[in-house]
Amino acid sequence: MKALEQLKDTLKSKFGGNIIKFESPLEDRLFVDVKKEGVKGVCKELFTQGGRYLVGIGYDNTKRDNTLGMIHTFAFDKDSTVICVRAWVPENDPVMDSITPDVPNAGWSEREYMDLLGMKFTGHPKPKRLVLSDDWPEGIHPLRKEVPYNLVPPPAENVAYQMDECPEGCSVVPVGPFHPSLHEPNHWSIFVDGETIKGCDYRGFMTHRGIEKLCTTQVSYNEVPFIAERICGICGSVHATAYAQCVEMVADLKISRRAEFIRTIMLEIERLHSHLLWLGVAGHLIGFDTVFMQSWRIREDIMWLCEKWTGNRKTYGMIVVGGVRRDITPELKDDMLRVLKKVEEECIVVHKAIIGDTTIHKRTKGVGYMTHEEAVQWSIVGPPARARGVDIDVRRDHPYAAYDAVKFDVPVVDTNDVWGTVVVRILEIFEAIKIVRQALDQLPEGKIITEMDDVIQSQRHAISHVEAPRGESVHYVISGDENRADRWRVRAPTYPNLQGVPTMLLNDQFADFPIILGSIDPCFSCTDRVQVVDIKSGKVNVMNQRDLERMSRRA
């Protein structure tokens, strides 16, 4: 690619003394190995040249060469290219310059590896804990290889959240960790002057499950897709696809064209289900429960279709390394087309009702305002970005599966507010239907699974991104020994978008907090166990999956 070669020449001329080597295993992937002294300059240059920051990946390389690694990744969407900047620091002196002052969305990635690996980033504007709780013992960094995956240190007593100082003249309104407008645990300190929001601070990661650690120590490549699918209760196929594509890259495995088309169909049906779910939740958050009931009624047909195809209304188990688990029969194809026709007709009615409703206009127009430039600066993704005039979509800009074979529009508006996210998602419903119809019409013959013949070579790197309903999900895999990854990094779309929420909230009314936060369709976490508390005796019982199943059958 000409643009990629020009970028390499620019980096060589400006930072040649700090660049160790270039590596390009695929024509649209470039890995740049850099001395730690050059990381800040190289990343600033890539960001200035139009690179959209994706995520940072920290990893423990101490058993191999006594270093800790840090990778910063950037997407050049117009050139369909991803560039990964790799650097290493000594384990006994894990310090490098922070890129956050130049690349704001890198802030959480660097803070995450301060917590999980014990790295230090000089010049970071907010070097406080992110993932680890405030009572986590000093000196224990969970992603270090020597720390067992199932470590549970004893909790300290009476440790409060370490939140930012409230600005002078403002009051603090705490929201969470449990609140009627929050569907998952997370905590916000909202700084208000009267009813006007003047700032905020966020603490999350309260039900962090350690999935990345688990899947590099306990399970094999082929088992991870079913765990990846449980990262999010809505975007399961998205995460399974992104992970599978990474493994297929490091294994040099080319899956069948039929499997690629079926993945595309699965992902777009998941998008339909997700957008209809979000539309209902958004209506509920502003007190318009008619939208909630109608959207979820329409969504039911999608859910029943998924159960007929995969056996489950959700968590489909469809995506595996090498392809998919279930085919599409002629009878199922007819069912899909019938359901799509019905959903489309009913969504047209909802669309007309919402577009002309003054109540929705008053609650969403001008609310959650963020400029186009701010959205670019914070590397916002998905509908929140496209609602602010940022014309990005991984399906079009970095085609995967069978998206190169279908035609669709990417809805982009420039209202820069919550209303824009409503419009974008409604229009994307119709585009998703268009994509599924095309994919069904073009579905080629062939097998649905391609077997992997060779052992995957260790220490190969791959990055894959998939356009989830919420925005772009990014997965990064470093291959390892014993038929499992040495490092697996997951970045859900909520991760970058949450970092932009403080800007969206600024100078809005406190009453609009739920819909502004809801406009990014946040997915904070999903719990993997339940605690049952007897309020009379205070006894706590931790229930596993078998206990829950037994209880549900009794009920």
Average pLDDT over residues 428-438: 98
Q: How far is Cα 73 from Cα 496, in angstroms, rounded to an integer? A: 13
- pLDDT grade for 90, boundaries at 50, 70 and 90: very high
What CATH code is carried by the domain that includes residue 252?
1.10.645.10
**pLDDT attached to residue 540:** 45
Q: How far apart are the first and last CA of the chain?
A: 61
Q: Are 333 and 421 in the same domain?
A: yes
Average pLDDT over residues 67-77: 97
Looking at residues 27-50, what average pLDDT do you find? 95
CATH of the domain at 33: 3.30.460.80
Residue 124 in any domain: the answer is: yes
Indicate if 229 and 136 belong to the same structural domain. no
Regarding whether 405 and 312 lie in a shared domain, the answer is: yes
Residues 40/42/48/50 CA torsion (nearest 10 deg): -130
Three-state SS letters, 69-136: EEEEEEEEHHHCEEEEEEEEEECCCCEEECCCCCCHHHHHHHHHHHHHCCCEEECCCCCCCCCCCCCC
pLDDT band at residue 551, thresholds of 50, 70 and 90? low
pLDDT, residue 546, reads 59
- Tell me whether residue 542 is in a domain: no
Q: What's residue 534's pLDDT?
A: 39
Q: Quick one: average pLDDT of 203-230?
A: 84
Per the model's pLDDT, the better-predicted residue between 61 and 233 turns out to be: 61
pLDDT at 531 over 60: no
Do 259 and 118 lie in one domain? The reply is no
The whole-number pLDDT of residue 1 equals 60
Domain boundary among 119, 148, 177: 148
Confidence label for 528 from pLDDT (cuts 50, 70 and 90): very low
Q: Is the pLDDT of residue 541 over 90?
A: no
Residues 502 and 370 both lie in one domain: yes
Quick one: 25 and 115 in the same domain? yes
Residues 107 and 241 reside in one and the same domain: no
Task: Identify whether 406 is part of a domain.
Answer: yes
In a domain, 50, yes or no: yes
What number is the average pLDDT over the span 21-37?
94
Final residue in a domain of this structure, among 148, 165, 193? 148
Q: Helix, strand, coil: what percent of the chain each, to 5?
A: 40, 20, 40
DSSP 147: S
Q: Do 219 and 335 lie in a common domain?
A: yes
CA distances for 171 relative to 77, 124, 193, 343, 500, angstroms: 42, 27, 6, 46, 22
Residue 175 lies inside a defined structural domain of this protein:
no
- β strands within 6-80, DSSP E: 19-26, 29-34, 52-61, 67-76
Tell me the pLDDT tens digit for each residue of 270-311. Answer: 999 999 999 999 988 888 888 899 999 999 999 999 999 999
Q: Is 389 left (phi over 0), alpha (psi -120 to 50) or beta?
A: left
| 178-203 average pLDDT score | 87
What pLDDT, on a 0 to 100 scale, did the predictor assign at position 549? 56
In a domain, residue 271? The reply is yes
Higher pLDDT, residue 209 or 485: 485
Q: What is the CA radius of gyration of the chain?
A: 23
Domain that holds residue 359: 211-518
Higher pLDDT residue, 224 or 337? 337
Q: Which residue has the tokens 């399906």?
A: 395
For residue 160, give the amino acid letter: A
pLDDT at 415: 96
Q: Are residues 219 and 110 in the same domain?
A: no
Whole-angstrom CA distances from 136 to 92, 123, 161, 188, 450 are 21, 24, 12, 20, 44
Q: Are residues 101 and 230 in the same domain?
A: no
Within this chain, do residues 97 and 226 fall inside the same structural domain, yes or no? no
Average pLDDT over residues 198-207: 88
Give the rounded percent of residues in the chain with a pLDDT score beyond 90: 71
Average pLDDT, the chain: 90
Note whether residue 219 is domain-resident.
yes
Kind and range of the H or E run holding 455: none
Structural domain count, the chain? 2
Determine phi and psi for 235, rounding to 5 degrees.
-100, 40
Decide which of 234 and 548 is more confident: 234
pLDDT bin (cut points 50, 70, 90) of residue 547 is low
Instruction: Say what the pLDDT of residue 536 is.
Output: 43
* Residue 243, both tokens: 């992970």
pLDDT at 288: 84
Residue 533 lies in a domain: no
Tell me: do 139 and 219 sit in the same domain.
Answer: no
pLDDT at 532 over 90: no
What are the tens digits of pLDDT across the range 252-281? 999 999 999 999 999 999 999 999 999 999
pLDDT band at 5 (very low <50, low <70, confident <90, very high): confident
